[in-house]
């Protein structure tokens, strides 16, 4: 738990005037405690089957599902703008979805083909692969299901097979987002035994059963399969903060290289506590609903969308996040590059 800092006496007005440091743009830059840079940002992308196709995600203004050939130039822009990595999420054709999610470990599935194409074209761009079964199941849950229950232990082997499959295709980081107990250790051992000891594992360690995921589920097509069901039996209760530290501690012990808090803005306190407690690379996911709210309000003219987006991303840095997954990553990075070129 974070301890309160006891500040020394700072004097009083009129001898002390904090506004002096805010008078000029250059002094504000000089004393800024945190800054946002392209290397802090990761762009999640939605991969679509087929060729020469681009589909707008209606609930996420500015976001598109892209076939691999359309994804490659977008990835080139990401690398040119200084983004270190992108995160891949497949839009699995309904005909390939099954109860056992077997397409998840098909070495020629959509996401594996995308990984190979991206690595061939852009070997220096990091690739993050999602490890969870929901894009591949007919029921939309992140794990295997029997008698209406999501099975923890039976799911672990499936997740391990999926992670090894992603690593074999060339994925640099596997990211278990399923929230099954014990999955980080099982995935780590499976990677090592399969000859992938250098593949990184970033754990969605504190992933909450949030209402902010709706647009993402629209984007990948899991909203229809999930229906009225929810994920509250395995994703975390938004009421809990102490539990997040326990979840992170378990994943760290099992071999996670990095940890993530998801969603982001409603859980800034959790990000801060995780970073203070473990001092590990800590990621935040600025999720689809958070992004969509800003974009929708901007479209209505109610907010300055660019300024609000930038302020939110800076808040993640202030809270302790080392990196941020956000659908605004590319537009923000390119804007930062333009500002740097202009001397701003």
Which residues are known catalytic residues? Answer: 207, 262
> In 163-299, where do the E strands start and end?
173-176, 200-207, 258-262, 282-286
Select from 145, 136, 223, 213 the least CA-distant residue to 180.
Answer: 145
Of the candidates 244, 227, 36, the residue with the CA atom closest to the CA atom of residue 141: 227
Round to the nearest angstrom and report the end-to-end CA distance of the chain: 38
The distance between the two most distant Cα atoms of the chain, rounded to a whole number of Å, is 72
- For residue 127, give the 3-state DSSP assignment: strand
Assign 231 to helix, strand or coil.
coil
Question: Is beta strand 64-67 parallel, antiparallel or unpaired with respect to 54-56?
Answer: antiparallel
Q: Does residue 92 sit in helix, strand or coil?
A: coil
226's CB contacts (< 8 A; 6+ apart) are: 134, 139, 140, 141, 217
């Amino acid at each position: 738990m974070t301890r309160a800092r006891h500040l020394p006496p700072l004097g009083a007005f009129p001898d002390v005037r904090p506004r002096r440091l805010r008078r000029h743009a250059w002094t504000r830059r000089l004393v800024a405690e945190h800054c946002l840079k392209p290397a802090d940002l990761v762009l999640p992308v939605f991969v679509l089957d087929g060729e020469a196709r681009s589909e707008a995600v209606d609930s996420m203004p500015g976001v598109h599902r892209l076939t691999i050939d359309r994804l490659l130039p977008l990835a080139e822009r990401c690398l040119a703008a200084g983004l270190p990595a992108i995160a891949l999420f497949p839009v699995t054709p309904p005909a390939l979805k099954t109860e056992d999610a077997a397409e998840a470990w098909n070495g020629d599935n959509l996401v594996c083909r995308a990984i190979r194409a991206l690595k061939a074209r852009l070997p220096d761009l990091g690739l993050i692969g999602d490890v969870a079964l929901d894009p591949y199941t007919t029921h939309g849950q992140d794990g295997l299901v029997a008698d209406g229950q999501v099975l923890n232990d039976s799911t672990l082997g499936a997740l391990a097979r999926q992670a090894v499959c992603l690593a074999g295709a060339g994925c640099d980081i596997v990211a278990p987002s399923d929230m099954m107990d014990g999955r980080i250790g099982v995935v780590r051992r499976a990677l090592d035994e399969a000859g992938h000891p250098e593949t990184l594992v970033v754990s969605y360690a504190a992933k909450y059963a949030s209402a902010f995921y709706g647009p993402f589920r629209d984007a990948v097509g899991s909203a229809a399969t999930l229906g009225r069901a929810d994920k509250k039996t395995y994703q975390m209760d938004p009421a809990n903060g102490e539990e997040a530290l326990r979840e992170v501690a378990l994943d760290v012990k099992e071999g996670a290289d990095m940890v993530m808090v998801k969603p982001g803005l409603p859980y800034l306190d959790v990000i801060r506590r995780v970073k203070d407690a473990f001092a590990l690379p800590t990621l935040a996911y600025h999720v689809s609903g958070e992004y969509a709210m800003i974009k929708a309000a901007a479209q209505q003219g109610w907010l300055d969308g660019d300024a609000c987006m930038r302020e939110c991303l800076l808040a993640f840095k202030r809270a302790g996040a080392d990196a941020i997954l956000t659908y605004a990553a590319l537009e923000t990075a390119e804007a930062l590059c333009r500002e740097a070129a202009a001397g701003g």
